[in-house]
Amino acid sequence: MNDDNKDRKVWCSFREERIHIVDNIPFCQQCHNKFGFKLFVFLLVVSFDIADLVSDWLLFHDVWLAKEGLVYGPPEDIVKYLLLAFSVLGTLTFLFEISNLWWDIFRRNPWVNVDLLSAITIWIEDVPQIAISVVIIACREEAISYFQLVKAAVIILGATIRLIVSLVQYCSKSARKDLECAKVNKESRRHVVYRVFIMMGLILTLGGAITIFLFTQSERNADGSLNFKIPHRIMEGEFDDEKYFTNVSIYFSHSYFDYEKHNSSDSFFDSKNFLRLIKLNDVKNSKTDKNVHIIYDGTHTQFHIQVDGQKECYIINKSTQQVTQETTCSILTNPEQFAFTFHFVKPSVPVLIFGDITYALKTGTSTNCETPTLKVADNLAAQMNDPISVMLRYYRTKPGVTEDNHIHKTSTSHKFYHASDLIDISEVWKTGFAYCKSSGSPAPHKGDNLEVQCL
């Protein structure tokens, strides 16, 4: 063994039992023992930890309060409970870490080595928390405002400063000695391992923060390109709701509409006819509730559809399987009706990001109109399992399919809408940067205390 190796072994054989966080700061050596400097370091670390803790609980608050509405609803229960568990764990580790830091800086006698505690905290709390946050925010819509932009930037700033502070600490004399002596000194080797795990965790946290910023402040186009969202307001956020609601309407399905003869090979979905009740934006943008009435005769061949006084009338010829629109509505024999009232529940962030639509339904005659006992399904599969049920659901018309009338009007004929004319709302409402499956309701919810006026 040469003299240099002997000298290094002797030099590395001694390591201070405890090296404190203030001692690792490589500048202002004369300030290390001053109370004001210690207080500044303590408050700086506490400030970043508090900002991180508050952002965790704010996200949990938003997720926990979310209700099922238009486009968005609450995430799966497993995600909510994981977020709660790590938020609680983060609070406990925050309290312990801050107490331990106090004892390290002001008493120079921490309960647990600061590097070890930081490594544990980062990997059992920070990394899982940022991973869950990325998963949630990848599927969420964020209101765009300057406040939201600043909030997203602060998350990156906090993660960056934590990384820089750690790098500065690891350039200190004691940290460099640990690195040089790791092969011959067990204590030095242990601290090098701590710091490697800390840096890996901080890099992942910073990557997660940058990903969150990307998800919240940009949008992905269909071709994969990115557009940075430009805010126009300081506090009140703006949502891009047109991509979700353009050409989307509420559709109604009932066996009375199924007049066509189908081959035995046709599926249930292909054989169902749909009536377009009202555009979603018409309900959303109205200051009052919207009323829709479907009045029909006893033979189920004449239908009058009336929306707030505007009426369309159709006659079905079951022999020729043709639908004709009447220019002058005929008088119906023994008329019955479906009477709907639709109400828009205004957005309330974070509970209902885009709001919700509720409905009430009555059936019968003008003199005996009551709430029906029949089931109102929100998908064709449920309606198939219960033939006497009806269905309400949101759909978007396919390109080239008109929605000027309550049924599909072409240049040569009228017919009810079919599944082949429509895009299911589950395909329309792909949410967030990751185009996730919508967690919102595919149909209006049954409302409480809505008045329905029968004609």
- What's the total number of domains in the chain? 2
pLDDT at 286: 92
How far is 105 from 120, CA to CA, in rounded Å?
A: 19
Could you give the CA distance from residue 123 to residue 445 in angstroms, rounded to a whole number? 42
Q: Is the pLDDT of residue 163 over 60?
A: yes
Asked whether residue 206 carries a pLDDT value surpassing 70, the answer given is yes
Q: Three-state DSSP class for 384?
A: helix
On whether residue 451 sits in a domain, the answer given is no
- Find, among 401, 406, 71, the residue nearest to 243 by Cα: 71
Mode of pairing for the β-strands spanning 436-437 and 376-377: unpaired
CA–CA distance, 83 with 87 (Å, rounded to integer): 6
Percent of the chain with pLDDT over 90: 24
From the CB of residue 159, how many other CB atoms can be counted at a distance below 10 Å? 24
Same domain, 198 and 258: no
The span from the CA of 42 to the CA of 25, in Å, is: 13
In terms of DSSP bridges, do strands 376-377 and 390-397 run parallel, antiparallel, or are they unpaired?
parallel
Residue with tokens 């159709």: 314
Percent of the chain with pLDDT over 70: 79
Confirm whether 233 is domain-assigned.
Answer: no
Q: Which helix (H) or strand (E) holds 378?
A: none
Last residue of a domain, one of 188, 204, 228: 228
pLDDT at 235: 46
* Mean pLDDT, rounded, for 267-271: 66
Provide the pLDDT for residue 428.
92
CA distance 443 to 68: 11
pLDDT above 90 for 392:
yes
> How far apart are the C-alpha atoms of 249 and 219, rounded to whole Å?
25
Comparing 291 with 191, the larger pLDDT belongs to 291
My answer on whether 264 and 209 are in the same domain is no
Domain match, 197 and 280 both: no
In this predicted structure, what is the pLDDT of residue 279? 95
Domain check: are 218 and 306 in the same one? no
Residue 192 clears pLDDT 90, i.e. is over it:
no
Furthest-apart CA atoms within the chain: distance in Å: 113
Same domain? 246 vs 223? no
Quickly state the pLDDT bin for 145 (edges 50, 70, 90): very low
Residue 322: strand, helix, or coil: strand
248 and 223 belong to one structural domain? no
Q: Do 209 and 306 fall within a single domain?
A: no
User: Mapping DSSP to helix (H, G, I), strand (E, B) and coil, where does residue 67 land?
Assistant: coil
> Do 214 and 153 lie in a common domain?
yes
Q: Which of 228, 260, 275 is the last residue of a domain?
A: 228
Residue 262's pLDDT is: 60
Residue 242: the pLDDT is 83
Q: What local confidence, expressed as pLDDT, does residue 276 receive?
A: 94
Q: Is residue 375 part of a domain?
A: yes
- Among 56-70, 240-254, 264-278, 322-336, the minimum mean pLDDT is found in 264-278
14 plus 48 within the same structural domain: yes
Residue 236 lies in a domain: no
Same domain, 436 and 298: yes
217 and 121 fall within a common domain? yes
Residue where a domain terminates, one of 198, 228, 258 = 228
Residues with Cβ < 8 Å from 417, sequence gap 6 or more?
Answer: 251, 273, 274, 275, 276, 395, 397, 401, 407, 408
Using left for φ > 0, alpha for ψ between -120 and 50, and beta otherwise, residue 308 falls in: left
Q: Is the pLDDT of residue 25 over 90?
A: no
Cis amide linkage into residue 350, ω under 30° from 0:
yes
pLDDT at residue 344 in the model: 96
Evaluate if residue 173 carries a pLDDT over 80.
no
Domain hosting 190: range is: 3-228
Q: Which residue has the higher pLDDT, 139 or 306?
A: 306
CA–CA dist 262, 244 (Å, integer): 33
> Is pLDDT at 449 greater than 80 in this prediction?
yes
Residue 208 belongs to a domain: yes
What pLDDT sits at residue 295? 93
User: Which residues, including other chains, have CB under 8 Å from residue 36's CB and lie 6 or more apart?
Assistant: none
The amino acid that residue 88 corresponds to is V
CA distance 106 to 86: 29
Ranking 59-63, 177-181, 338-342 by mean pLDDT, the lowest is 177-181
Residues 6+ apart with CB under 8 A from 300: 256, 259, 316
246 — pLDDT class (breaks 50, 70, 90): very high
- With respect to residue 237, please indicate whether it lies within any of the assigned structural domains: no
Distance CA(312)–CA(128), nearest Å, equals 57
Same domain, 108 and 221: yes
Computed over every residue of the chain, the mean pLDDT equals: 81
SS3 431: strand
DSSP string of 214-278, one letter each residue: HHHHEEE-TTS-EEEPPP--SSS-B---HHHHTTEEEEEE-GGG--S---TTS-HHHH--BEEEE
